[in-house]
Amino acid sequence: MEIILAKSAGFCFGVKNAVKTAYEKAETETELYTYGPIIHNKTVTDDLEKKGVHVIEDLDSAPAGGKIIIRSHGVPPKVYEDIEKRGFEYFDCTCPFVKKIHRIVEDRHKKGMEIIITGSPVHPEVVGINGWCGNSAVIISSVEEAKAFELEKGKKYALVSQTTFQTDTYDEIADIICEKTDAELNRTICLATAERQHEAVEIAKQVDCMIILGDKKSSNTRKLYEISKKYCENTFLCETFVDLDLKFVLKYGKIGITAGASTPPAIIKEAVNTMSENENKSFEEMLDESMVTLRTGDIVKGTVIQVSETGDVSVNLGFKSDGIISRSDFSDDPNTNPADVVKAGDVIDVYVVRVNDGEGFVQLSKKKIDAVKGYDEIEEAFNNSTTVKGKVIEQVKGGLIALINGIRVFVPSSQISNRYVEDLKAFIGQEFDFNILEYDNVRRRKIVAGRKALAQKEIDEKRKEVFGKINVGDRIEGTVSRIVEFGAFVDLGGVDGLIHISEMSWGRIKKVTDVLKEGDKVTVTVLDVNAEKGKISLSLKDLNADPWKSADEKYAVGNVVSGKVVRMVPFGAFVELEEGIDGLVHISQIAYEHVEKPEDVLTVGQEISAKVTELDLDNKKISLSIKETLPKPEKAAEEAPAEE
């Protein structure tokens, strides 16, 4: 058996300095407290506790006269302020790399830049960094979150990182941010962290088994586990070597060992010594003692124990450890709440992803089981040209993603409807019937679905239904689906009808949007139906309020009426007598003297009185005369012929 120990394993500079300070102060100081665990390692914190160095999570827990050690993770500025207000003496062991991030964040925040931090939002280092910009930072912990993050136009962004963040993930996030905006990039991952991660990858590539030593709460330790697991399936995470089941480890010929930044050298040394002592122990003997009955890839039944508030499902497998289905492994639909699907006591089929997830649980997946069944149903629908139901869950380049039988399927933008759709987001969350257009039965990766033909069929059926029951004069309800310059189209239940701008009001309107907007619910009157051309003419006017119904009395010939000039034309001026009724004053009827242009005498908006000279109810026309309401000029009176 060959053991490869990482050169960079164990304490980094910042942690080593903080731990050294704690031990040194413990020899000379009393009433000593660390603001949070000095490092994420129970062995160290327990040993310091015995030496009189106590862990507190808030300053209220420290008595007057106590001395505070600020750990390498750093703290927000408010903590420094509170320490000084309370009169505590303190020893600042913040890692220099973290201090540098604090300075960058504080400076960029003062310059009005928005701060983005890559890291875990609950990690104490990130909490501390965020405090230096007034807790206003956007915290991104994954590539998916970076893709979903919408940057505000006109704002400047500065990107920093948790010192122990994965280098490859940071680079991916940085690329995504730069595609969206011209952000300032600060690659603040600790050099020791980057080196430790790189070395772990190189060792994991060449060994049969990889052991990661460190506290399970340690961020950098978990990241070492995650990146090693990518290259070595047999990767194990344990706090001390005692936690590792040697009967499984010693069967491997070449074993790699590395440790997180919070792992003491003594634990690493113990691991190597223990491995050497057990090298010759019979694997068969250890295997016989084992309780292992699960393997990665197994499909087994389990009983649901509970569903947590975060959506993780605990499952009893009859194994020495319970299984966990994370919310992301429960369904491909991000909107699915596991609590709505399963409850305690339910027996379900699960797929074993990993026997030991590094936290002592068996990692399970339900969506992998659903996928196996889903592929079969999709293939059957493709071969038989039948439809399948699916739910649109997200928009991607070129179209949408629909979840069909638990499988993510691509729907091109041209196949979501029978007509061009500008805003695809409107379909997200909706369920439809789909045709399977393409299916790769070898790799099962390229599956394309569409509903263009189905949408057309649905519309044809709705059109036939609507035209079969609609009649001129009907009052029906609809929804404004589209605004155009000359009117508005209204969805009457699968068929659009048109309200011309002239049919929107008895009064005068300048533009359609003064009256309607898309999405408005309206009650309209059917004016005309043409099934052959597929056209329906509508009116928004209330026919009972037609002002022309009483026009014969109000505007009888000879009546003097009042109105407002609303429009000039070369041959006269139109006067609004009331909403929906205009009269025309011909240019010859404006005054007794010759008028060259109507605007020489009248102005739009002017209130005038005029006599009705003609009333045409059939054509809804009224002729008016202003001059007949005026006294005749003396000259005109003299020239008038004498009455016989």
pLDDT of residue 286: 37
Residue 517 has pLDDT above 60, yes or no: yes
Residue 9 near residue 256 (C-beta atoms within 8 A): no
pLDDT at 531: 82
So what's the pLDDT on residue 241? 59
CATH of domain 385-456: 2.40.50.140
Query: Which of 312-325 are b and which e, b meaning 16 or more Cβ less than 10 Å from the residue's Cβ?
Result: bbbbebebeebbbb
Beta bridge partners of 428: none
Higher per-residue confidence, 508 vs 257: 257
DSSP classification of residue 183: P
Across the range 162-180, mean pLDDT stands at 88
* pLDDT higher than threshold 50 for residue 266: yes
User: Residue 511 pLDDT more than 60?
Assistant: yes
pLDDT number for residue 589: 93
Residues of the chain with CATH 3.40.1010.20: 96-189
Record: fold of 470-545: OB fold (Dihydrolipoamide Acetyltransferase, E2P) (2.40.50)
Residue 584 to residue 566: CA distance in whole angstroms: 10
Whether the pLDDT of residue 638 is over 60: the answer is no
CA atoms of 214 and 41, how far apart (whole Å): 7
pLDDT of residue 641: 54
Which residue numbers are catalytic?
Answer: 125
Region 163-168: mean pLDDT is: 84
Query: Are residues 498 and 538 in contact, defined by beta-carbon separation less than 8 angstroms?
Result: yes
pLDDT at 441: 64
Q: What DSSP designation does 153 have? A: T
The dihedral over CA atoms of 369, 371, 377, 382, expressed in degrees to the nearest 10, equals -160
Q: Fill in the DSSP letter of residue 341.
A: T
Task: Say what the pLDDT of residue 622 is.
Answer: 92
Instruction: Out of 222-226, 425-429, 457-461, 621-625, pick the least confident.
Output: 457-461
CATH domain 96-189 topology? Cobalt-precorrin-4 Transmethylase; domain 1 (3.40.1010)
pLDDT band at 280 (very low <50, low <70, confident <90, very high): very low
Question: Mind listing the pLDDT tens digit for each residue in 179-238?
Answer: 888 889 998 887 667 777 888 899 999 998 888 887 777 777 888 899 899 999 888 888
Say whether pLDDT at 360 is over 60.
Answer: no
Average pLDDT over residues 449-462: 83
Does the structure show a pLDDT above 80 at 276?
A: no
Alpha-carbon distances of 488 from 177, 482, 508, 640, rounded to whole Å: 41, 6, 16, 56
- pTM score, whole prediction: 0.39
Q: Which fold is adopted by the domain 547-635?
A: OB fold (Dihydrolipoamide Acetyltransferase, E2P) (2.40.50)
Give, to the nearest 10 degrees, the angle between helix 167-180 and helix 191-204.
Answer: 120
**pLDDT band at 613, cuts 50/70/90?**
very high
Name the H helices within 1-50. Answer: 13-28, 42-50
Give the mean pLDDT of 303-311.
83
For 299-365, CATH gives 2.40.50.140
Question: Any residues with CB less than 8 A from the CB of 296 and at least 6 apart, and which?
Answer: 233, 352, 353, 354, 355
Across all residues in the chain, what is the average pLDDT? 83
Contact 608, 562 (CB under 8 A): yes
For the cut 90, the answer to whether the pLDDT of residue 76 exceeds it is yes
Indicate if the pLDDT at residue 14 is higher than 50.
yes
Nearest CA to 139 among 114, 111, 156?
114
* % of the chain with per-residue pLDDT over 70: 88
Domain with CATH 2.40.50.140 in the chain: 299-365, 385-456, 470-545, 547-635
Whether the Cβ atoms of residue 212 and residue 8 lie closer than 8 Å to each other: no
Tell me: pLDDT of 588 over 60: yes
Percent of the chain surpassing pLDDT 90: 24
Q: What is the amino acid identity at position 335?
A: N
Which of 288-297, 314-323, 345-354 has the lowest average pLDDT? 288-297
Strands (E), 360-406: 362-365, 387-396, 399-404
More confident residue, 563 or 543: 563
Per-residue confidence (pLDDT) for residue 112, from 0 to 100:
93
Instruction: Report the pLDDT value the prediction gives residue 285, as an integer from 0 to 100.
Output: 41
How high is the pLDDT of residue 290?
A: 36
| Residues making up the chain, counted from first to last | 644
Better pLDDT: 12 or 46: 46
What is the 3-class SS of 451-514, one letter each residue? CHHHHHHHHHHHHHHHHHHCCCCCEEEEEEEEEECCEEEEECCCCEEEEEHHHCCCCCCCCHHH
DSSP E strands in 485-642: the ranges are: 487-491, 496-500, 521-530, 535-539, 560-569, 572-578, 581-586, 607-616, 621-625
In this prediction, residues 480-491 reach a mean pLDDT of 90
The mean per-residue pLDDT over the stretch 8-27 comes to: 78
pLDDT of residue 107: 95
Which has the higher per-residue pLDDT, 552 or 442?
552
Q: What's the mean pLDDT in 279-285?
A: 40
Higher pLDDT pick, 244 / 157: 157
